[in-house]
């Protein structure tokens, strides 16, 4: 069997949204080459000897996404659909150059070889993400989340997910009721469950995300503790949660600020990321004007995460 390898050049900002879109329209796999990840890795202590300045200069800024579709699809119709979807995403995010071309490749070129590069990784002090086929010897209080990125949108190692995980570790207490808005693969809801949260609701507007989140809950023995819904905030039954998580884009975070006091308990927390640095102040203004207190701000790469405390629930 052959596959179409669709190549898209985009930005770090739009990387996740485009990758998820490609999965939702039927990509059998998505590979991401982010020069910013390479730079961050090479700038770690002890690694600079392996790359000179010319190598850094040649990395460029484009994030390259390769998506794989079975060759029973009409490639011209597929490209037109991808262009249309990227154009829509461009209303909210800088999508960069977009579609660059395609190749025809064999199964073995991509279907399984990528697995050897995906290893367990610690994304917070206690939280470890590991592929389902890898063994990991947990130590101490490690919280291990199993993922199969072959069927999911991402690996759980994006900066926004890492920062949300760190905030959950710090602010979520055992027994806290929790709402995960825009849950994607369900990673944050699963982390909350393993940290001892109760009455967990996870919601996402994307049907594929809901399916993937449910499968990841099953992989992590968390299905009975997490209620996963397809929809948006207004579809969630009104309830005062101790912790609300939202790892979504800044414009939506701002849009839901009027509603958030109705969903967060007094003295509860709203933990949010998916915010590019240029929109940080917009989010801060939207929530402090509603009576939320800024507890902590984290920054990683181009991304920001904020922990708000609800001073006066409605």
φ, ψ at 58 (rounded to 5°): -85, -5
Assign 304 to helix, strand or coil.
strand
Query: What's the rounded Cα separation, in Å, for the pair 173 and 228?
Result: 21
Is 10 annotated to bind ligand?
Answer: no
Please compute, for residue 138, the number of CA atoms within 13 A of its CA located in the half-sphere on the CB side: 13
Instruction: Confirm or deny that 26 is annotated as ligand binding.
Output: no
175 annotated as a binding-site residue: no
Distance of CA 270 to the CA centre of its chain: 17
Pairing of strands 198-204, 177-181: parallel
Q: How many residues are listed for the chain in this entry? A: 314
Residue 204, marked binder:
yes
What does the alpha-carbon distance between residue 123 and residue 111 come to, in Å, rounded to a whole number? 26
What span, in angstroms and rounded, lies between the C-alpha atoms of 76 and 252? 33
Question: CB–CB of 186/202 below 8 Å?
Answer: yes
**Per the annotation, where are the binding residues?**
161, 182, 204, 247
Annotated binding site for S-adenosyl-L-methionine, which residues? 161, 182, 204, 247
């Amino acid at each position: 069997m052959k596959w179409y390898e669709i190549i898209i050049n985009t930005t770090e900002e739009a990387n996740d949204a485009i990758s998820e879109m490609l999965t939702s329209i039927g990509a059998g796999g998505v590979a991401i080459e982010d020069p910013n990840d390479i730079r961050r890795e090479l700038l770690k202590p002890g690694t600079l000897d392996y790359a000179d300045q010319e190598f850094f200069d040649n990395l460029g800024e484009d994030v390259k996404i390769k998506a794989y579709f079975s060759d029973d699809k009409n490639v011209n119709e597929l490209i037109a659909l991808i262009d249309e979807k990227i154009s829509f995403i461009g209303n909210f995010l800088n999508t960069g150059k977009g579609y660059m071309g395609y190749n025809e490749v064999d199964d073995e070129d991509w279907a399984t070889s990528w697995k050897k590069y995906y290893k367990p990784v610690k994304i917070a002090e206690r939280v470890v993400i590991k592929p389902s086929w890898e063994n990991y010897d947990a130590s101490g209080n490690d919280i291990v989340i199993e993922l199969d990125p072959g069927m999911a949108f991402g690996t759980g190692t994006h900066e926004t997910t890492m920062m949300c995980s760190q905030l959950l570790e710090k602010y979520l207490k055992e027994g806290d009721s929790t709402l995960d808005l825009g849950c994607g693969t369900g990673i944050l809801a699963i982390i909350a469950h393993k940290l001892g949260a109760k009455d967990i609701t996870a919601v996402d507007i994307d049907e594929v995300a809901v399916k993937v989140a449910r499968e990841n809950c099953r992989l992590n023995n968390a299905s009975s503790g997490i209620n996963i819904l397809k929809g948006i905030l207004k579809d969630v039954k009104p309830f005062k949660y101790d912790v609300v998580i939202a790892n979504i884009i800044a414009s939506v975070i701002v849009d839901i600020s009027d509603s958030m006091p109705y969903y967060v308990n007094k003295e509860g927390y709203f933990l949010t990321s998916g915010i590019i640095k240029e929109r940080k102040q917009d989010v801060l203004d939207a929530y402090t004007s509603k009576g939320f207190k800024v507890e902590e701000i984290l920054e990683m790469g181009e991304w920001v995460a904020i922990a708000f405390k609800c001073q006066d629930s409605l």
